[in-house]
Chain A
Amino acid sequence: MCDPVTGATIASAVLSAGGNFVQGQNNNASAEAQMSAKNAARNAGIIQQQGNQAQATEQINQTLNKFSQPNQQQDLGSLIANRTTALANNVATTPATGLANTASTAPKVVQNSLSDAMGKAAAYGAQQGGAQAAIGATGDQFLNNGLNLNDAQNKLGTIANFAGAQQKVNEAAQQEAWNNARKGPSTFGSALSDIGTVLQLGAAGGANSAIGKLTAPAPAFSSAAAGSGGTTLPWLNSQPGQGLY
């Protein structure tokens, strides 16, 4: 059986230790919650960026698909056909020239010669028109490819713009999650520590009183003094002058 001061001291130590333990546990839980919240925010950001990446990949694939050999050949063929038609249609707008009237009275051999010459002219024009259309269509294709690239660049630029800003927001979100997941000190742990502290102070006060009485003159331990209460503890009078045991 220990004396009250010792008991209070032990109790305060136990309570303080318990309080510290609870606080430690609480701090660990807080750190764990913070890390978990930060990871969750980071993962959300990763998913968001994966979405951006998917959009960008789709855009690139669409653009690359336009540059595939079959598609390019098909486009070029279509462009050549369009140009050839446009050139031929414009040639066909040439008005009558009166050549027929001029040649109508000519000998048959001359008429045949003119007809043959005009046929050759038409054939030459068609050949030249086709060749010119093919050259021009190549330019059309370059232009269309450039416009497609420009369009893809604009779309990818927007995706990159959003992705960059979202990355910064996510960094802030991670910090916010970290901050908001922090737990305050445990009330129970604090209570234990506070009680322990109080008991410690009380024990220290009691011990000081006892020490003071040990070093005080003998009359301080008289029955009169003991009966007057105060800070003198009754059990200290059991063996006056012999100090604490």
Chain B
Amino acid sequence: MCLSPSIPKDDSADLAAQQEATREANITQGQSNIDSAFSQFNDPYYNNISTNYEDYYNPQLDQQYQDAVNKLTLSLGQQGILQSSEADRQLKELQETDDSQKQAVASNALNAANSAKQQVAQQKNTLYQLNNTAADPSQAASLAATAVSSAVSTPTYSPLANAFAGLVGNGSNALALQGNSGISNFYNTTTAPIAGTTSTGSGTLVQ
């Protein structure tokens, strides 16, 4: 008769569970690091983009408007109809054009912020996926810092074309802005489209 040898304990699953717990903690920590790094992209940040956009184009538009008023006044005066209903009508159309352009500037300013918001979300999404794969919080933090620095590509905005050229240049009252100058044109060529708004975005003038 002999005593049975003791059976060795299997702890492989315990080890695997510990490793998994560590991995999950790393992923959670990595996500926290990413969120922290991207917390700077908040409403004030995006509002600032819109403000910068307006600050760039509004003065140009104001200058053009003032020039257009001056030219129209001169033209009407030369024709001797400065104080006439025709002058009132042309001044009205000038004002409508200016209002429309100002609205376009404001709308495109919001679209510019939306475009930045989308880019940031894409960067963050990519980092989340990398973090899930790598499960390395220090790497996630490093990648997040790098991504944040390049999260929003530098937008290129062209100077405003003459929004009132069609109104004053030839002395006619035709609203010739559509598709040839002004906000409607530069927005379509310089601002990245917003997902879901490409065809319905408010960047184009509605006249």
Chain A residues near B (Cβ < 8 Å)? 41, 83, 86-87, 89-91, 93-95, 97-99, 102-103, 105-107, 110, 113-114, 116-118, 120-122, 124-125, 128-129, 131-133, 135-136, 138-140, 142-143, 145-147, 150, 153-154, 157-158, 161-162, 165-166, 168-169, 172-177, 179-180, 182, 184-185, 187, 190-191, 194-195
Contacts and interface: CB of A to CB of B under 8 A. Distances in A.
B195 A165 contact: no
Nearest to A143: B114
Contacts, number: 203
B129 interface: yes
A125 B96 CA distance: 6
Contacts of A177: 13
Contacts of B9: 180
A37 B99 CA distance: 77
A100 to B, nearest CB: 11
Given A140-B110, A143-B117, A91 B102 contact: yes
A66 to B, nearest CB: 15
Which secondary structure characterizes the binding site on chain B? Answer: helix
Residue in B6, B24, B106 whose Cβ sees the most chain A Cβ within 10 Å: B106
B20 A169 contact: yes
Contacts of B197: 136, 138-140, 142-143
A94 B102 contact: yes
Interface stretch (B61-69, B140-148, B152-160): B61-69
Contacts of B11: 176
Interface of B: 1-7, 9-14, 16-17, 20, 23-24, 27, 31, 50, 54, 58, 62, 65-66, 69-70, 73, 82-85, 87-89, 91-93, 95-96, 98-100, 102-107, 109-111, 114, 117-118, 121, 125, 128-129, 132, 194-197, 200-202, 206-207
Given A91-B103, A136-B107, A139-B194, A185 B206 contact: no
Given A89-B106, A176-B12, 5 more contacts: A90-B54, A94-B65, A110-B88, A128-B207, A133-B202
Contact of A169 (B13, B50, B110, B207): B13
A184 B84 contact: no
A77 B115 CA distance: 21
Most buried by B among A83, A113, A116, A175: A113
Nearest to B6: A184
20 contacts: A86-B109, A90-B106, A95-B62, A95-B66, A98-B69, A107-B83, A110-B85, A113-B85, A118-B91, A135-B201, A136-B107, A136-B202, A142-B195, A157-B129, A157-B132, A165-B20, A165-B24, A182-B7, A187-B3, A194-B1
Given A157-B132, A165-B20, A117 B88 contact: yes
Nearest to B133: A161
A114 B200 CA distance: 35
Contacts of A172: 12-13, 16
Contacts of B194: 139, 142-143
Which of A97, A102, A142, A158 has the most chain B CB atoms closer than 10 A to its own CB? A97
B7 A110 contact: no
A125 B103 contact: yes
A91 B114 CA distance: 21
B4 A143 contact: no
A90 B102 contact: yes
B90 to A, nearest CB: 9
Contacts of B27: 158, 161-162
B113 to A, nearest CB: 10
A139 B111 contact: yes
Contact of B96 (A105, A113, A124, A194): A124
